Structure 1
């Protein structure tokens, strides 16, 4: 079973249980129609629609992590499926004329589902815009394909150094401050050891997307090496960079991450340090950041260089 799909199996099982409870309710209070009374066109249309919605739900749960957007999309599709499923059930079971609740089960969830689905699509749209803005920015200003990191959609170490040199020169011309943030995942070797490198790679990919969502369009995120990242912040003072660094660390600490295999909750954390560029080379600036990071790993209060 696909890993993400397995994490959402409770959602799918709950939907199937509720849907079958509706079926059992109809069967217990109504009479099964004869085959001659079945409306095959309605059965095909409503049943086929229900099957397609169920496929959409499976694809959604297979491809997205847990979160508000996923929950809204799932609940919206779940309401649509339940409404269609009750419509199909009505083709096989004849209820008494005095019964009115079956009409509510057939029609009530449909508009609710569309409203939830609309909210979910809206938030998904905003999420994609934020990620796409970062991707467009790197395409337009920073990225060179030969220096592209294979695991994450980020530039690598060589590309980072080139861009730092260019950005330092531009900052001097514009007489604007330039700051950098270094982010290093804590206890990352333990994740690789206990859950495997594949899980470690997935952690890096998820953290990459999370950090991108918390940056401005003109900021640049690169993967320096392993589980260490660097953010280039044009027009940013060191005091402002320290605030951003703290926010990134808090965002990672509050991330509800679960492993792909067994769905175990992992408590992630990252150490962040910030520095403002001086009249120095990219090599010297990164060396200064690395030294500050080493001190911060030993003394958590050391966060700026």
Structure 2
């Protein structure tokens, strides 16, 4: 099968489309013929050598796919061959076939195409596990999402609004701001034009939950805009890994700072997240309340172009690959 690896860490040129043996499903796994694979910033980090796969996981890039099941391993009885599914992976998605634990697989929700389904599992699980399971976002809360035009951002806006939250986002362009408002964002802040903390203060806004992809660069400002008992959840480090935390400010607000990673979690934890997310999010996709936002789809051979789009942050929503 064709697959994408980056045997030597580096830039776009490090990506190689190679021929590798087709995997076989182990007990408890299913083998998926990939229709589409989502491209995520974690893949760019892996290509650069900054985010290696967990021990025992393939070095083929890719953390989510859609496709149809072609065979199942011992013990799998509820996902027969031919079922159209979306899957959350620890790796292996940039390929024609991938084997994945059955608990990390879900049938594609009604109302979306099999191709578009390639861009829902990673973002939906990331948002659900962080904003709702850890952040405990409630009806009437205010959610601040950094990177509102990203795949995670566009999903977080929609889910936040679907569950009755006020949603504030930071974006990098007027076009992304317009899309975020169309998706339901109540306030958009162009971080290239103004300081988000100052803008929120001027508007009298405080955040009960913050979903942050920036990390160190935003730590102080994030804490400053937290509401009393607010929860800051850091899921990315685009702005660095080290910063000084004002514990006094955190203590005065009785607030919490949490940092999480989805990829490194053991399969039973991922399966529990998938199950909880599907129960809550799939009905919203099926009735049209929430939809995947797809920026562009590229053939597997153009994986370098797909990575460049994410490098440039020129996308709104998800970028997909089709083997």
TM score, norm. by length of structure 1: 0.24
TM-score (norm: length of structure 2)? 0.23
Higher relative contact order (CA 8 A, sep 6+): 2
Larger radius of gyration: 1
Would you tell me which structure has more strand in proportion to its own residues? 2
